[in-house]
Amino acid sequence: MNYFDTDLTTLHTKLVNKEITSEQLTKETLATIKADNEKLNAYITIDEDAALATAKAVDEKGINADNLWAGIPIAIKDNIVTKGLKTTAASKMLADFNPIYDATVIEKLRANDVVIIGKTNMDEFAMGGSTETSYFKTTHNPWNLSKVPGGSSGGSATTVSAGGVLAALGTDTGGSIRQPASFTGVVGVKPTYGRVSRWGIIAFGSSLDQVGPFTRTVKDNAALLNIIAGHDDHDMTSSDKAVPDFTAGLDGSVKGMRVALPKEYLGEGVDENVKKAVLDAASTFKSLGATVDEVSLPHSKYGIAAYYIISSSEASSNLQRFDGIRYGYRAKDVKNLEDVYVRSRSEGFGNEVKRRIMLGTYSLSAGFYDAYFRKAAEVRTLMINDFKKVFEDHDFIIGPTAPTPAFGIGEDSNDPKKMYMNDVLTVPVNMAGLPGMSLPAGFSNDLPVGLQIIAKPFDEQTLYRAGYAFEQATDFHKATPEIGGDK
């Protein structure tokens, strides 16, 4: 089976009415995933035995009619720790790491009787935009196997796009949910910073990281955020704001709303077909009764430079713990303590991770802190103020998720600067801590194009309302790749 022709509500109704059991659903899901994984490399670990045991236990317990996600298989990005299930962050450094606790989001999924099907491939320690920096394998885009699926959450996006699962979790530090969602033609949401607990996430950039869902539809995405959002005492950065029902108000209406379209988001370097998709989306919103205005986010052009200084600085700090002593990879035949440190890190980390550690360490060093890190933090404040100004008069912002559709495997991997520029339209959202969504909005050379929607802090309801209205007015979300099964 695949999940192309169904949604959460339909599956839940079948489970409640015993038209299908969770065990049957899980077996069919595993069969699809294993068949496609040879082509796609979406998974690092498929947890077949535990998934079937969970599904059987859910069936014996009975499906609660009020629990939409009970018995539904979900995939998890491999930097989210799962008790008793190997969590590698796609790195040699953690190739055999078996966590002794669950991340808070995993605890919430288990409390809702979700079936965790496996751990998805990603860029090493979430550092990359193509899922090519994984120590284990390169994931392929289901729309074209010679193309990347985006990153760093490429495995999660791929398995949803290919119909392997109904939903998956990813993390987004500078676009790592939204960009692969755009490249693979699915819905991906980065919630407001603090909306979802980061406890149990293998840290990359602590002021930027956020967990979010991948799904095929906006409504299913909102339903998954419903159960993973909320305050967590383990995470001092998690918000204590009440969590609303994100599926409420999805009526397809944006009448009277004001939409902002930043001129900088359609500038040089943006593919012409991507521009057309965004302008067509603007016309769609107008036809639905919204007003669309051109606006300016003048400091967004500095976003990439500021982001890579801040994120790399935070990464250099977060990755200090991997030293070959406490856990993780340890080099063999070492001669002394310094040898343990140097060789374990040199052998355990890949090139992209080393590059960012060096950049971050340099930016934080005594002679360069003011010139680089402090300046980047000041630019971040200017970017936040730009968004605040736009949101004084507008309900949400639209633009491309990525400047181009998916690029070829190996095409940008040896050019870090070119690779980093793929994040130019997504990093401002993380820098400002805002919620952002990518959803299907068209095609360029037979590859999906994503529309990015950005809302005010903690206003995911508007994000979903706008996304749902666009989705219902178009058919792009109904398109499916051949690799996932019969259309």
**Catalytic residue positions, numbered:** 77, 152, 176
For Cα atoms 139, 106, 456, give the angle at the middle one, nearest 5 degrees. Answer: 80
CA dist 459 and 195 (Å) reads: 10
Please answer whether residues 51 and 116 qualify as being in contact, where contact means their C-beta atoms are separated by less than 8 angstroms: yes
Please answer whether residues 79 and 155 qualify as being in contact, where contact means their C-beta atoms are separated by less than 8 angstroms: no
For residue 135, how many other CB atoms are within 10 A of its CB?
A: 20
445-473 as b/e: b if 16+ CB within 10 A: eebbbbbbbbbbbbbbbbbbbbbbbbbbe
**What length does the chain have?**
487
> In what side-by-side order are the strands of the sheet with 187-190?
43-46, 115-120, 73-77, 167-171, 211-215, 187-190, 436-444, 447-455, 396-400, 258-262, 291-295
Tokens representing residue 199 in the block:
């406890």
Q: Strand 187-190 vs strand 436-444: parallel, antiparallel, or unpaired?
A: antiparallel
Provide CB contacts within 8 A for 429, sequence distance 6+: 175, 178, 190, 435, 436, 452, 454
DSSP 79-138: TB-BTTB---TT-GGGTT---SS--HHHHHHHHTT-EEEEEE--SGGG--SSS-S-SS--
Establish how many alpha carbons lie within 13 A of residue 30's alpha carbon, considering only the half-sphere containing its beta carbon.
Answer: 19
Please answer whether residues 213 and 328 qualify as being in contact, where contact means their C-beta atoms are separated by less than 8 angstroms: no
Please answer whether residues 7 and 215 qualify as being in contact, where contact means their C-beta atoms are separated by less than 8 angstroms: no
Amino acid at 177: I
Question: Is residue 188 within a helix (H) or strand (E), and if so which, with residue range?
Answer: strand 187-190
Q: Closest Cα to residue 468, out of 285, 291, 293?
A: 285
DSSP 305-317: HHHHHHHHHHHHH
Please answer whether residues 115 and 74 qualify as being in contact, where contact means their C-beta atoms are separated by less than 8 angstroms: yes
Residue 153: Cβ-neighbour burial (10 angstroms; 0-12, 13-18, 19+): buried
152: preceding bond cis by omega (within 30 degrees): yes
